[in-house]
Structure 1
């Protein structure tokens, strides 16, 4: 039974949430800031585009996605999650600074891979901690606050990172962005609070000593998880493809400089996505308290509303512009802002949904499994698919039509969330009744609507 004071918000809980959110901000910056300085790194080391693609994508994504699963299991099985996140933050921050000190390409590759190793232990334990800091009826808002990290990180990386590189060189970008993470790691150790596992759960779950693959199989077969994970994977393909290539589209379509396009897209994307994430968290908590299905309906609605905004951004006439002095501001940037607002709903609400349907001993592994789908499909396939389609469609409007095709994956994503509603509410009812399905928790049986072989069938 939870303590009488466990549900009372206090400065220590709020401080922990803020520190975890800041750690996530710098996690997102440190993994993505390399994109801003790709060209000077390539020129200095004389690397090919293939090697640069390996450095920025595959070398990071495979290590990050693979290691996050065992580290998530460690967090679920009793490790101090605050200490895990702090140590991992220190590791990836030192590795980020090492990227700026590399003198040869292999050193840069090794430092980049170490960033992935460190960050693999940051996301899943943090999601698990946030879920235990606040009661279920406040969890979506808390998760939305935590998930501001990518939106703030995008803004900082594109705007501040470009300025640092221009004024002080590409090596300074890594050193400037790596150093604050070391300070944050220390502050989290000193001021952060490990809330304990499952303090708000009726069914806390026992420490899981089964083989890792058996436990992971049980996580994947939890009712509703498969559909949510596939929804995230498909939305991630659209989102990462759009996010990586939209600034380049603006350069080509509006004849902008990369800095101009980066600032315009960064401001529209970062600020409106942050507002959308908080808006979704507040209203989802209110609606889901009345009907649990809103936890998956609301991200579905956000995805559906974001699609026409994204297409309008791509198709709006290039000569429709405002002039602010010498600054060109396309009318289409309003649709980019609208897309960011609605597309920001699904990430935080999906992680909150998964935290609801997992026991306290499954949450970190469940978040890591969800992150595996999002990283491998989204970050791994989305930008590559968009680039390949752009080459196939030709130079004139190839990128525009490639982005439209990539965004069409949002329709399949919305369908997955729709399919998730019924098994999700069944799982919630089982947990609320303190009688979770034995076969589901043990990984011996799958739900009838969704199995590991039929994610899209």
Structure 2
């Protein structure tokens, strides 16, 4: 099938800077990702009332908050990423998938039994499986390589703004109107965003900002790319130097990060004697704002550093993880009774550690997706992002909250309400350490891959 999308390159102004439609498309994709992350993770703020209504254990809540989503997500993200690489209109894919996951999120607020909530959560994954990988691929074709980390950092602000909105607004909505309204209210805006993307944006085509020779090559290779067996394409991507250690490093970090994000509001309710609204407000503001700043800063700074040494694309995530680990442990283990006054309110001292943790922990997602976009070709990018997303979601969203929930149930027999605290501390320490090891292993092969691509 002839791919005409390549011909519809993004508008470029006379000074070779992306034009208004390019930036507006990036903003729409970023907003869609914000609500994608809200819809995926808003369950964190309402775990406790859902548990009480349905009489579930921490293990069951870990299952429904993670693995129920990850199973279908993992099964669909790779073939949908493959479809995006084969020439499907990525704008249309994202708009359709956004509509689907938004409707499924609203359905979560209308269930009457636990098994119905389980199915609704899995349905959210059906839509979201086709959102992230095409978005990364599309942004990579909207902006040139030297600006790509910053552009992807704007896209990757989605999780952090999503946490901020889900925690601050979600906690208040749950307390004032009940947990069901949280899903209904947060699901609705996705329908509007999907329509706006469909009407305003356009797919820039593969290799859209590359030189004319690269665009012609992308067009001429379309038919052969479509004939390449899916398994062969996956093998080729996994053989790319640096791809697997980077992806495994992100999977380990994601497993700890999802667990931390999902269970922290519940930890604050149990251990700090807070209401849902208080936990959401304090954790959302302290973590969300600093994470947005950290994500943007890391993309901007990385674009500057990689001009001198490509390995900074992998070094910065590694450094961010090393710095954030002790602050995560301090947040969990700091005495709850120690507090300080701010604006007339008494706040736990530990929240300062959460803010610093969020700033540095926001580096690895942004820079890892950018790194994968660098080492893959135009015809591999969406599938490569889908593989990365699959690992992060399957291990992170799928196994992270579940593992912590199981460990919390086991430790609660000895430590009571502190069981969740120690479960979070253990998983964060072990998984962040493992992630650092994988990123370290990726440094040399990543540099070699970038040198090979430069010489072609």
Q: TM-score, normalised by structure 1?
A: 0.88
Q: Secondary structure at the match of 1:322?
A: strand
The answer for the alignment partner of 1:388 in structure 2 is 406
The answer for the alignment partner of 2:281 in structure 1 is 263
1:232-247 paired onto structure 2 within 5 Å: 232-247=250-265
1:30 to 22, 33, 39: 39
1:201 touches 1:359 (CA, 8 Å); kept in 2? no
Q: Secondary structure at the match of 1:102?
A: coil
What is the CA-CA distance between 1:315 and the residue it aligns to? Answer: 3.1
1:132 to 138, 141, 147: 141
1:211 to 213, 218, 229: 229
Relative distance call for 1:112 and 1:251 in structure 2 (3 A) is closer
Q: Unpaired runs of 5+ in structure 1?
A: 435-457
The answer for the alignment partner of 1:352 in structure 2 is 370
2:44 touches 2:265 (CA, 8 Å); kept in 1? no
2:97 touches 2:127 (CA, 8 Å); kept in 1? yes
1:134-283 paired onto structure 2 within 5 Å: 134-201=143-210, 206-207=221-222, 208=225, 209-283=227-301
2:109 to 91, 100, 104: 100
Q: Number of paired residues?
A: 434
Q: Secondary structure at the match of 1:64?
A: helix
Q: Secondary structure at the match of 2:307?
A: helix
The CA distance in 1 between the partners of 2:116 and 2:363, in whole Å, is 38
The CA distance in 2 between the partners of 1:4 and 1:58, in whole Å, is 38
What is the CA-CA distance between 1:425 and the residue it aligns to? Answer: 1.4
The answer for the alignment partner of 2:348 in structure 1 is 330
What is the CA-CA distance between 1:51 and the residue it aligns to? Answer: 5.5
What is the CA-CA distance between 1:43 and the residue it aligns to? Answer: 5.6
Relative distance call for 1:4 and 1:195 in structure 2 (3 A) is closer
Relative distance call for 1:109 and 1:383 in structure 2 (3 A) is closer
Relative distance call for 1:321 and 1:104 in structure 2 (3 A) is closer
The answer for the alignment partner of 2:338 in structure 1 is 320
Relative distance call for 1:333 and 1:194 in structure 2 (3 A) is same
Relative distance call for 1:325 and 1:422 in structure 2 (3 A) is closer
The answer for the alignment partner of 2:359 in structure 1 is 341
Relative distance call for 1:101 and 1:243 in structure 2 (3 A) is closer
2:10 touches 2:209 (CA, 8 Å); kept in 1? no
1:82 touches 1:192 (CA, 8 Å); kept in 2? yes
1:234 touches 1:412 (CA, 8 Å); kept in 2? yes
The CA distance in 1 between the partners of 2:113 and 2:199, in whole Å, is 37
- RMSD of aligned residue pairs (Cα, Å): 2.4
1:394-433 paired onto structure 2 within 5 Å: 394-395=414-415, 397-408=418-429, 409-433=431-455
The CA distance in 2 between the partners of 1:187 and 1:67, in whole Å, is 25
The CA distance in 2 between the partners of 1:286 and 1:384, in whole Å, is 39
Relative distance call for 1:200 and 1:224 in structure 2 (3 A) is farther
Which stretch shows the higher mean deviation, 168-177 or 151-160? 168-177
Relative distance call for 1:324 and 1:284 in structure 2 (3 A) is closer
Q: TM-score, normalised by structure 2?
A: 0.89
The CA distance in 1 between the partners of 2:385 and 2:164, in whole Å, is 25
The CA distance in 1 between the partners of 2:48 and 2:267, in whole Å, is 18
What is the CA-CA distance between 1:282 and the residue it aligns to? Answer: 0.5
1:201 touches 1:360 (CA, 8 Å); kept in 2? no
What is the CA-CA distance between 1:306 and the residue it aligns to? Answer: 0.7
The Cα offsets for residues 289-343 of structure 1, whole Å up to 9 and x where unpaired, read as 1111110011111111111211222233333211357743111211111100000
Q: Secondary structure at the match of 1:289?
A: coil
The Cα offsets for residues 186-237 of structure 1, whole Å up to 9 and x where unpaired, read as 1001111211101244766533222212211211111110010111011112
The Cα offsets for residues 32-62 of structure 1, whole Å up to 9 and x where unpaired, read as 2233334544565666766655433222111
The CA distance in 2 between the partners of 1:272 and 1:306, in whole Å, is 12
The CA distance in 2 between the partners of 1:249 and 1:51, in whole Å, is 16
Q: Secondary structure at the match of 1:328?
A: strand
The answer for the alignment partner of 1:10 in structure 2 is 19
The CA distance in 1 between the partners of 2:355 and 2:65, in whole Å, is 27
The Cα offsets for residues 354-389 of structure 1, whole Å up to 9 and x where unpaired, read as 000000110110001001111111122222222333
Return the structure number with greater helix share.
2
The CA distance in 2 between the partners of 1:359 and 1:318, in whole Å, is 50
1:82 touches 1:194 (CA, 8 Å); kept in 2? yes
Q: Secondary structure at the match of 2:267?
A: helix
The CA distance in 2 between the partners of 1:330 and 1:263, in whole Å, is 13
Relative distance call for 1:378 and 1:266 in structure 2 (3 A) is same
